[in-house]
Structure 1
């Protein structure tokens, strides 16, 4: 089999994996909100019409960047590492934005302590300096404390 045919098959397989992952995250009409927003922005930026190149750039900029960073080809290991890194960077940004009391993008022990004191105060409903079983939220997993965000 020719090298170009092998590359074409590999790209189709990669596109299928990425497409399957995207499909798993879809909403009711089959389009993720992020994709819809990027396409709407591309339409707005280009007077209501977009070319294939503009469409391609809007569809999955993360995958395009990963490919560019790796010379136009990626292995499963490279793609997994890049996606994992991006996922953990996103999680880190959310944690810092939640705890960072000074708004400087840096997390300190003081920030963590301040957040914990705030959550403790919300849980200690009778203000006796301790949390009792009846003061814990009744919700299941993922239950958020009001005012703790």
Structure 2
């Protein structure tokens, strides 16, 4: 195997590792494969059915190459870690905005938060009496096992 081919494969492997870590949430490998296949499919469509190594490399490593370029041509472990953390938190922030944004303008206001809280409260207040009782909380899952709601087997002794 030629040295350039080995280097290219090593670079692709590194980019794959970086990408996988950046999406290290639920089903990270599956999301990574889907993203990779979507980028490759788009590159192939844009190039009349075939792609060269340079096109493949561009489709696979655009973010990583930009990160290297933005940092003077070299990356340290700390710079890669910072970029991965930023990417992870940006994804989380996008999900939060999408979940709460009632106007669809990509911003979050106090009214958006209050609106979301009212919806969740209404769902939990199963008997519509304007109060949430321990018996109305789900058994387990996201709400039912929280310590402050007595989900630890204390029968609500430590509810606040």
Fold in common (TM above 0.5): yes
Segments of 4+ moved more than 6 angstroms: none
Structure 1 residue corresponding to 2:29, chosen from 26, 39, 52? 26
State whether structure 2 residue 113 is matched by structure 1 residue 120.
no
Q: CA 1:142–1:48 in 2, change beyond 3 Å: closer, same or farther?
A: farther
Matched residues in 2 for 1:116 and 1:85: separation?
A: 27
What runs of 5+ residues in structure 2 fail to find an aligned partner?
A: 1-6, 145-160
Does residue 83 (structure 1) correspond to residue 84 (structure 2)? The answer is: yes
Equivalence for 1:50: 51
TM-score (norm 2): 0.69
Query: What is the rounded CA distance, in whole Å, between the counterparts of 1:38 and 1:142 in structure 2?
Result: 38
Contact 2:15 2:61 in 1 (8 A): no
Deviation at 1:132, TM superposition (A): 1.7
The one-character-per-residue Cα deviations of 1:58-109 (angstroms, maximum 9, x if unpaired) are: 1133212211211221111111111111211121111111111111111111
Corresponding residue SS for 1:105: coil
Q: Structure 1-normalised TM-score?
A: 0.74
Unaligned runs of 5+ in 1: 1-8, 144-149
- Greater relative CO (CA pairs within 8 A, separation 6+): 2
Q: How many residues are aligned here? A: 129
Show the counterpart of 1:37.
38
